[in-house]
Amino acid sequence: MKLKIALSALLGTLVFAPIFYFVLLPVVILTAAKFVPVSWEEQYGRSIVEGFAAPEDYCKDRRLMTVLDSVLKDLSDSIPNNPYHFHLKIVNDKIVNAFALPGGIIIVFSGLLEETDSPDEFAGVLAHEIQHIVRHHSTREILRQASTSFLVSSLTGHFGNDSTFSLRGVRMLETLHYDRKLEEEADREGMKLLVSAKYQPEAMIRMFEKFEKGKSDRDPILTFLSTHPATENRIKNLKELMNQLTAQPVIHSQDSLWNEARLICQNSS
């Protein structure tokens, strides 16, 4: 009798689990992410940063951060009713990538900085990443992956302790990716943000074209396209959107400093 009950329970779990994961979970996560307090997102984002790289791996040159933070501020100031305080963390590594964490932290690898030819191109990357934060994409993806881990743990009976939570967050970065719908939303709203901040909207397109052109020459692990899959269709959509926007880019104070600033991490290593 006990065996029959156990088998029935197992069968019910196996039937319900896929329905929950593929049908109910996305709806629950979409709703939940909107109500997650910013303070929780900030705390979780900081916990991921602490385990992501050693302190000495971050590039903290004051000249560099002054230039980069000014670009970030231009974008942040152009977001109405923005509840987030954005922070940049530059990892001294040749990887060409950037990540948006819940709460406002954006991790950028120095390899990506070296690919940029202007503050406008860097702003294009930041504008895209900012949208992942303000639209809760990062929080939704991490909640989804955490829910998957919980579901597996429920089925196997193996649960980690609280101290493993931030470690899981670090590991999630290695597999973090957004579906096409979320990427296109980040593209679209990111380009609008560029225009609002008076940066060149075509700079975002140039960066995607660089990523696409160089993808065959780089290790695919953790490169920008591995976590932000770009397609010709996305670039095409951005070009169409750019033609619909009225852009009035200006010369920014960072322009004259950019060529030196973008290589500071490389030269200091």
CB 127 within 8 A of CB 144: no
State both tokens at 77: 């100031």
State both tokens at 256: 């004259």
- Asked about 185 being catalytic, the answer comes back as no
| φ/ψ (deg, to 5) at 58 | -90, 135
| Annotated catalytic residue, options 41, 121, 129, 141 | 129
Amino acid at 66: T
Q: Which residues are catalytic?
A: 129
